[in-house]
A = this chain, B = another copy of it.
Amino acid sequence: MTTQQLVAQIRKKKSFLCIGLDVDLEKIPQQLLTEEDPIFEFNKAIIDATHHLCVAYKPNTAFYEAYGLKGWQSLEKTIQYLNQNHPEIFTIADAKRGDIGNTSRMYAKAFLEDLGFDSVTVAPYMGKDSVEPFLEFTDKHTILLALTSNEGAFDFQTISMEGKELYKQVLETSKSWKNSENLMYVVGATKAEYLADIRKIIPNSFLLVPGVGAQGGNLQDVCKYGLTDTVGLLINSSRGILYASNDQNFAVAAAEKAKELQQEMAAILQQSI
């Protein structure tokens, strides 16, 4: 999917919501546990109930690997279901991979080609040749960790390197990599006050913003500093939507939570245009 297609979807749906499909079997309605593939059935119900309210879905691979082979099967079925039924929706494999060049190439092939995700999250620590193999894929996107939503972000990301914080070095350096136009960046909603500085370095790039809701980030603050002429934001919510209820009506409750965020986004988009 091209960035233009993503922006068109955002305009059409008046939403820049991404729903994180982080399925925890201990939190889903217990009636689903009798199904052959409870994770997929849960995802399918959530997708069916929310696909008109969001523009992206983001399964975090940890939640699937935690269930071994069965989990990988659930991940495959989920991305296949999305690609077959909602090809207009942007899909993100939240995998946070990164390795030496020939190894990163295998991850890139696995997520972007074989599984068919539109994008994958990648960690920057190993530098240029660990990221460029992901960037080679046409009409796919590599979402680089810049400033993450967790407390540990302050351990290294915000420390000053030769006069500039590490996350700013990552943003600047990555702009020089081959096919860098395929880059997006992870910036946590809990660090909204950093967004003004970030936009000076990458004025137009799309940002994937986790941390709204359960982690305490605020949508208005993120938009105030992060919004661009072409929106430039994907706001992720996972637990706040998925586990709005764990009774039989869980999907309806999830859609209501998603709708609240979508309506807030619609209002912001209307004001800003």
Contact in complex: B123, A152 (CB < 8 Å): no
The residue that A145 contacts in the complex, of B126, B129, B166, B173, with Cβ under 8 A, is B126
> A72-B68, A76-B69, A123-B98 given as contacts; is B166 within 8 A of A152 (CB)?
no
> A68-B72, A110-B62, A169-B156 given as contacts; is B127 within 8 A of A151 (CB)?
yes
> Which residue of B has the minimal Cβ distance to A210?
B100
Collect the chain B residues with CB atoms within 8 Å of residue A66's CB. Answer: 106-107, 109-110, 114
Chain A residues with CB under 8 Å of chain B are 22, 60, 62-63, 65-66, 68-69, 72-73, 76, 96-101, 103-104, 106-107, 109-110, 114-115, 123-131, 145, 148-157, 159-162, 166, 169-170, 173, 215
13 residue pairs from A and B, CB less than 8 Å apart: A62-B99, A65-B107, A68-B114, A69-B73, A72-B72, A96-B97, A96-B98, A98-B123, A125-B145, A126-B150, A126-B152, A127-B153, A127-B156
Collect the chain B residues with CB atoms within 8 Å of residue A123's CB. Answer: 96, 98, 123, 125-126
Chain copies in the assembled complex? 2
Collect the chain B residues with CB atoms within 8 Å of residue A126's CB. Answer: 123, 145, 148, 150, 152-153, 157
Collect the chain B residues with CB atoms within 8 Å of residue A145's CB. Answer: 125-126
A203: shortest Cβ distance to chain B, in Å? 22
Collect the chain B residues with CB atoms within 8 Å of residue A101's CB. Answer: 150
CA distance A128 to B110 in the complex (A): 29
A147: shortest Cβ distance to chain B, in Å? 10
Which of the listed residues A73, A100, A154, A162 has the most CB atoms from chain B within 10 Å of its own CB? A100
Contact in complex: B100, A148 (CB < 8 Å): yes
Q: A72-B72, A156-B161 are in contact. List 14 more A-B contacts (CB 8 A).
A: A62-B106, A63-B103, A69-B72, A96-B97, A100-B150, A101-B150, A124-B125, A125-B156, A125-B157, A126-B145, A128-B151, A160-B162, A161-B161, A161-B166
A107: shortest Cβ distance to chain B, in Å? 5
Contact in complex: B170, A151 (CB < 8 Å): no
Contact in complex: A159, B156 (CB < 8 Å): no
CA distance A127 to B124 in the complex (A): 13
A239: shortest Cβ distance to chain B, in Å? 9
A165: shortest Cβ distance to chain B, in Å? 9
Contact in complex: A151, B166 (CB < 8 Å): no
Contact in complex: A152, B169 (CB < 8 Å): no
CA distance A149 to B114 in the complex (A): 28
